[in-house]
């Protein structure tokens, strides 16, 4: 999943609209209605805050309108990203001017929450400016156009989008192909942005494995686009689509001739770029400290897994009680294609029953949709993830929990059995749906937060940290096999937090990491492959945010319980966290200690939580 600062894409080894799919796990950033954060809060400061945020939204619409459209700003539906000449200078100048404007307003603002929101907007712009400058300093521009265009049409032609918006896809198609007046083919512009920097010394090309994988997936993305247009019921797209197909084939040949020879053999980013990635994600530990904490946590989780696996083995009379052998035992009980979705939908109902019975958090009324990924979606994100629906003007459209069954980028024929057993379905549903990702976004939609807190505060440490924390708060009520797989996923997140930086610091090879993931974490080969691709080039650093965010939430809960004693109620604490939007860990802690704790202590009838999640 990406940070909000990259909503205005950098001309680097991603593309103008990949901010909507990075982070896989991608969660999409959310834009929420201007309604109070909590009941009884004066809405005036939120209206004023949203007025400031809309200045940043206009900047998004100018340079990355597909992103603005996906958020629900319909006026940008027909528009396409600006890849024109001098883009770097123009976008940086626009950002810098707006940044100074926000700083001036921040200096004279007196409302504490509005000051905090202005700090969020300033930080978002500052990160975007820094990231763009670092990319300009170190990286040769490279665009995976087939994936970018698939994502563009996949957002607009989504089944949850009003079909009256679909015709805008025809306008985008004409603009992408250069058939609209005043537009040049996007393939020509992308080549120009790369070629104009070919002669500059010191720039690194994209990682060779990334370019090869991108080229291999071009036909999958083209077929995915074709299926989207066929399903849409639109007429008149066929000729322009054929032209786009030819243009992308020519672009692919150019990649082979011009970019592949310039691609780097070493996946590692310059240290300054990797450090910036961590900052964007909300990870505030330097890599060495992060590695140490994660390695210690990994061993603790592994001991817990082994103890539980031995007890399960005794109950089932299994010959081998090693946690890896017990996991493989349950993985052998694979669901067939027809039973996968019914099982996951049943798990959702069972988890909601647990949440209500144990008073863990308030559940929203809106439904959750669960579906299987298409082949193009699986190539794009070969891991389970949540797709957020339209969030401006949402009238009840659900988020989609998307489950890929294959990794097209893995070794051919290797089964991905990590999520297709009944035992695994418990914790994955808790992470992606409820009480995890989907609940976090649904709560914000239902309650409303300022645009700054819902969009521009986005950080992976908050989002992924909450989802991993959500797995833990339901774990005690899962069956033993469900608990074992919950621990396996927590083991994976701890492993990510030291494997990703160690790989990017050159302390481990890709082969060593893959061997560890398969033989110690017990992942399938396709799942291990997507992990390595994530660390090496898809989203370097992002995998660390799960465990880091989880640890910060656990520490915050411990501190809150210590301060409140018998006045602590898990449901109130969780509801408050969700009501804050996507604040990064430091600001979230500030809100809990300055608002939640005093309010809880002030209740005259505070009682201990009996039987709830403590």
Classify each residue of 568-584 as buried b or exposed e, where b means 16 or more C-beta atoms within 10 Å of its C-beta: bbbbbbbbbbbbbbbbb
Q: Are residues 243 and 349 in the same domain?
A: no
Query: Is residue 444 over pLDDT 90?
Result: no
Query: Is residue 586 over pLDDT 70?
Result: yes
Q: Are residues 230 and 300 in the same domain?
A: no
User: Please, which pLDDT band fits residue 398 given cuts at 50, 70 and 90?
Assistant: confident
Q: Are residues 153 and 18 in the same domain?
A: yes
* Distance, C-alpha 45 to centroid of its chain: 29
**What pLDDT score was predicted for residue 603?**
79
Q: Quick one: what percent of the chain has pLDDT higher than 90?
A: 77
Q: What is the residue-wise DSSP string for 218-248?
A: HHHHHHHHHHHHHHHT-SS-HHHHHHHHHHH
**What pLDDT score was predicted for residue 336?**
82
Alpha-carbon distances, residue 55 vs 101, 206, 392 (angstroms)? 10, 33, 16
For residues 449 and 427, give the distance between their C-alpha atoms in angstroms, rounded to a whole number. Answer: 28
Boundary of a domain, candidates 280, 310, 325: 280
Q: Which domain holds residue 364?
A: 287-546
Angle at 382 between CA 552 and CA 488, to 5 degrees: 45
Does residue 614 belong to any structural domain of this protein? Answer: no
**Burial (CB count <10 Å: 0-12, 13-18, 19+), residue 181:** exposed
**Higher local confidence (pLDDT), 132 or 609:** 132
Task: Show the tokens assigned to 5.
Answer: 């600062």
Query: Is residue 440 over pLDDT 80?
Result: yes
For residues 217 and 504, give the distance between their C-alpha atoms in angstroms, rounded to a whole number. Answer: 25
Eight-class DSSP state of 207: B
User: Please, which pLDDT band fits residue 207 given cuts at 50, 70 and 90?
Assistant: very high
Does residue 484 belong to any structural domain of this protein? Answer: yes
Q: Are residues 268 and 142 in the same domain?
A: yes
Does residue 174 belong to any structural domain of this protein? Answer: yes
Boundary of a domain, candidates 516, 546, 576: 546
Does residue 551 belong to any structural domain of this protein? Answer: no
Does residue 107 belong to any structural domain of this protein? Answer: yes
For residues 562 and 592, give the distance between their C-alpha atoms in angstroms, rounded to a whole number. Answer: 13
Does residue 428 belong to any structural domain of this protein? Answer: yes
Mean of pLDDT values over 245-269: 97
Count of domains for the chain: 2
User: Please, which pLDDT band fits residue 24 given cuts at 50, 70 and 90?
Assistant: very low
User: Please, which pLDDT band fits residue 254 given cuts at 50, 70 and 90?
Assistant: very high
Tens-digit pLDDT profile for residues 468-514: 999 999 999 999 999 999 999 999 999 999 999 999 999 999 999 99
Query: Is residue 216 over pLDDT 60?
Result: yes
Q: Are residues 479 and 502 in the same domain?
A: yes
Query: Is residue 438 over pLDDT 90?
Result: yes
Q: Are residues 445 and 341 in the same domain?
A: yes
**What pLDDT score was predicted for residue 399?**
83
- Is residue 444 within 8 A of residue 462, CB to CB? The reply is no
Tens-digit pLDDT profile for residues 300-346: 999 999 999 999 999 999 999 999 999 999 999 998 878 999 999 99
Q: Are residues 216 and 293 in the same domain?
A: no
Boundary of a domain, candidates 249, 280, 311: 280
For residues 84 and 62, give the distance between their C-alpha atoms in angstroms, rounded to a whole number. Answer: 12
**What pLDDT score was predicted for residue 26?**
32
Peptide bond into 435 cis (omega under 30): yes
**What pLDDT score was predicted for residue 367?**
86
Mean of pLDDT values over 113-125: 94
**What pLDDT score was predicted for residue 447?**
81
Q: Are residues 77 and 117 in the same domain?
A: yes
For residues 40 and 185, give the distance between their C-alpha atoms in angstroms, rounded to a whole number. Answer: 52
Q: What is the chain's length? A: 614
Alpha-carbon distances, residue 301 vs 435, 479, 547 (angstroms)? 21, 18, 12
Q: Are residues 219 and 343 in the same domain?
A: no
Does residue 101 belong to any structural domain of this protein? Answer: yes
Query: Is residue 211 over pLDDT 50?
Result: yes
Q: Are residues 308 and 441 in the same domain?
A: yes
**What pLDDT score was predicted for residue 613?**
58
Query: Is residue 411 over pLDDT 80?
Result: no
**What pLDDT score was predicted for residue 337?**
78
Place of tokens 């396409």: 80
**Burial (CB count <10 Å: 0-12, 13-18, 19+), residue 261:** exposed
Q: Are residues 471 and 492 in the same domain?
A: yes
Sheet holding 369-372, edge to edge: 369-372, 400-403, 385-387
Does residue 481 belong to any structural domain of this protein? Answer: yes
**Average model confidence (pLDDT) across the chain:** 89
H or E element that contains 551: helix 545-564
Q: What contacts 41, CB < 8 A, 6 or more positions away?
A: none
Picking from 171-185, 287-301, 376-390, which range would have the lowest pLDDT averaged per residue? 376-390
For residues 300 and 452, give the distance between their C-alpha atoms in angstroms, rounded to a whole number. Answer: 37
Q: Are residues 110 and 188 in the same domain?
A: yes
- Is residue 398 within 8 A of residue 366, CB to CB? The reply is yes
């Amino acid at each position: 999943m990406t940070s909000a600062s990259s909503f205005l894409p950098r001309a680097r080894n991603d593309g103008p609209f990949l901010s909507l799919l990075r982070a896989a796990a991608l969660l999409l950033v959310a834009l929420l209605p201007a309604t109070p954060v909590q009941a009884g809060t004066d809405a005036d400061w939120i209206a004023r805050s949203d007025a400031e945020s809309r200045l940043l939204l206009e900047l998004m619409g100018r340079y990355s309108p597909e992103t603005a459209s996906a958020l629900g700003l319909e006026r940008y539906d027909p528009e396409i990203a600006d890849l024109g000449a001098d883009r770097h200078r123009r976008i940086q100048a626009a950002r810098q001017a707006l940044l100074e404007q926000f700083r001036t307003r921040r200096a004279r603002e007196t409302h504490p929450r509005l000051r905090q929101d202005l700090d969020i907007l300033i930080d978002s712009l500052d990160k975007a400016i820094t990231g763009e400058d670092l990319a300009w300093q170190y990286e040769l521009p490279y665009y995976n156009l087939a994936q970018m265009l698939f994502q563009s049409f996949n957002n607009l032609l989504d089944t949850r989008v009003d079909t009256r918006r679909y015709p805008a896809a025809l306008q985008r198609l004409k603009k992408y192909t250069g058939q609209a007046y005043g537009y040049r083919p996007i393939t020509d512009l992308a080549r120009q942005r790369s070629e104009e920097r070919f002669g500059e010394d010191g720039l690194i090309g994209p990682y060779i494995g990334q370019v090869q994988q991108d080229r291999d997936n071009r036909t999958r993305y083209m077929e995915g686009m074709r299926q989207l247009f066929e399903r849409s019921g639109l007429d008149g797209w066929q000729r322009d689509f054929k032209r786009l197909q030819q243009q992308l084939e020519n672009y692919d040949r150019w990649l082979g001739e011009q970019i592949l020879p310039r691609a780097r053999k070493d996946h590692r980013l310059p240290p300054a770029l990797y450090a910036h990635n961590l900052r964007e994600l909300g990870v505030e530990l330097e890599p060495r400290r992060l590695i140490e904490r994660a390695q210690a946590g990994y061993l603790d989780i592994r001991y817990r897994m082994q103890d539980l696996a031995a007890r399960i083995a005794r109950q089932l009379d299994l010959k081998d009680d090693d946690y890896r052998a017990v996991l493989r035992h349950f993985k052998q009980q694979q669901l067939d294609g027809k039973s996968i979705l019914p099982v996951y939908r049943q798990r959702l109902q069972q988890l909601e029953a647990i949440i209500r019975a144990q008073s863990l958090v308030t559940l929203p009324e809106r439904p959750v949709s669960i579906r299987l990924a298409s082949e193009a979606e699986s190539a794009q994100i070969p891991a389970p993830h949540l797709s957020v629906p339209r969030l401006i003007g949402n009238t009840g459209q659900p988020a989609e929990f998307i489950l890929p069954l294959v990794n097209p980028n893995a070794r051919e024929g290797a089964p991905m059995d990590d999520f297709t057993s009944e035992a695994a379905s418990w914790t994955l549903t808790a992470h992606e749906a409820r009480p995890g990702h989907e609940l976090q976004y649904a709560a914000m939609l239902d309650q409303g937060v300022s645009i700054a807190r819902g969009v521009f505060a986005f950080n992976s440490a908050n989002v992924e940290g909450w989802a991993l924390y959500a797995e833990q708060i339901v774990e005690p009520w899962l069956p033993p096999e469900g608990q074992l797989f919950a621990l396996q996923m927590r083991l994976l997140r701890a492993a990510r937090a030291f494997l990703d930086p160690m790989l990017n610091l050159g302390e481990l090879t890709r082969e060593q990491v893959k061997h560890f993931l398969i033989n110690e974490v017990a992942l399938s080969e396709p799942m291990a492959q997507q992990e390595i691709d994530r660390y090496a080039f898809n989203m370097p650093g992002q995998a660390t945010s799960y465990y880091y965010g989880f640890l910060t939430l656990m520490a915050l809960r411990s501190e809150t319980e210590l301060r409140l004693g018998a006045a602590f109620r898990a449901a109130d604490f969780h509801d408050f966290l969700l009501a804050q939007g996507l604040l990064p860990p430091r600001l979230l802690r500030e809100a809990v200690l300055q608002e939640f704790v005093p309010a809880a202590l002030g209740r005259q009838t505070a009682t201990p939580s009996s039987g709830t999640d403590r």
